[in-house]
Amino acid sequence: MQMTVTPESFPIAGTFTISRGSKTEAKVVTVRLTDGVFVGQGECVPYARYGETVESVVQVLSALVPEVADGLDRVGLQTRLKPGAARNALDCAFWDLEAKRAGKPVWQLAKLPEPKPLSVTYTLSLGTPESMRAAAEKEAHRPLLKVKLGGEGDVERIRAVRAGAPNAAIIVDANEGWSLDQYKALAPVFLDLGVKLVEQPFPAGNDEALLGLDRVLPVCADESCHDTASLASLKGKYDAVNIKLDKTGGLTEALLMRDAAVEAGFQIMIGCMVGSSLAMAPAFLVGQGAAFVDLDGPLLLARDREPSIAYDGAVMSVPPRGLWG
């Protein structure tokens, strides 16, 4: 078994901004596995919030090349690497290779129902109320918008988005940028403006305030939520969990986490970093049946991979098997 690890970059259409900063390109790491006949591939997006860089992820994966050649497989990988971006890329490459070898799609190998197209959110990045209204007007035909917020001025931003897209449902992502007082002040106002959910209002290490809080605006865990093991600490604090393969460390753990989260009573959001269609394809399987599907990464890019996933408005098609799975 041969394994290659390649850093790649995809330009973003414009600039993507959240409360922690802005970027104009999606920097990813691609893993390809080949047995000499078939090729499997996977993509991850290293995330600085979790102490990851492209260089560190490339280093971690490159160190595994001899172990993969000696027989490290997808099952062994689950304990060989911790959850995170590096494990995600290799886990998804293993799934893709298994599917190619078997001549069957991944959903069959994983004993999942046949996947159907999904209705996805569209993300509006953080900006001035004026720029966010203009962005909302451009995307007003979409049924669900996800809006990045930053704390100060958030009410004005949501009012602007609502004015620009009067019929769209809205979810908001605070990216750990709120205080308890801000939640209490903003939640009723946002409810009146048609907001359905807020992601990660408080810093992940400071979310105890959610215990016992009257969460009139439902709260979704993102930075507080990584893998199945993290679910126990979320009970009583959150109403939903955002499952991202770059956090779980791949499709294998993401499927386990989804089932455990449903059993624990959480609503499911399937999310992504800004990446190409290759990163979205395995997440598409986890998104089946989810309450919120935030897999719009390719829609934010100026250039995607070929072949790529087709999006028709808000509808995300089944990923082509020539891409993955």
SS3 320: coil
Q: Give Cα 298 to chain centroid, integer Å.
A: 12
Strand partners, 195: 170
Could you tell me if 138 and 126 are in contact, meaning their C-beta atoms sit under 8 angstroms apart? no
Binding residues: 173, 199, 222
Residue ranges of the binding site for Mg(2+): 173, 199, 222
Catalytic annotation present for 82: no
Whether 193 contacts 158, CB under 8 Å = yes
First-residue to last-residue Cα distance in the chain: 19
∠ Cα 247 4 316 (to 5°): 50
Pairing, β 39-44 against β 311-312: unpaired
Query: Which of 100, 146, 237, 244 does the annotation list as catalytic?
Result: 244
User: How is residue 244 written in tokens?
Assistant: 């991202």
**Cβ burial 123-158 (10 Å sphere, 16+ → b, else e):** bbbbbebeebbebbeebeebebbbbbbbeeebbebb
Which bin fits 142, alpha (ψ -120 to 50), beta or left (φ > 0)?
Answer: beta
- Token pair for 58: 């490339």
- Asked about 148 being catalytic, the answer comes back as yes
Q: 259: which residues sit within 8 A by CB, 6+ positions away?
A: none
Which residue is catalytic, options 146, 148, 237, 247?
Answer: 148
Catalytic residue list: 148, 244
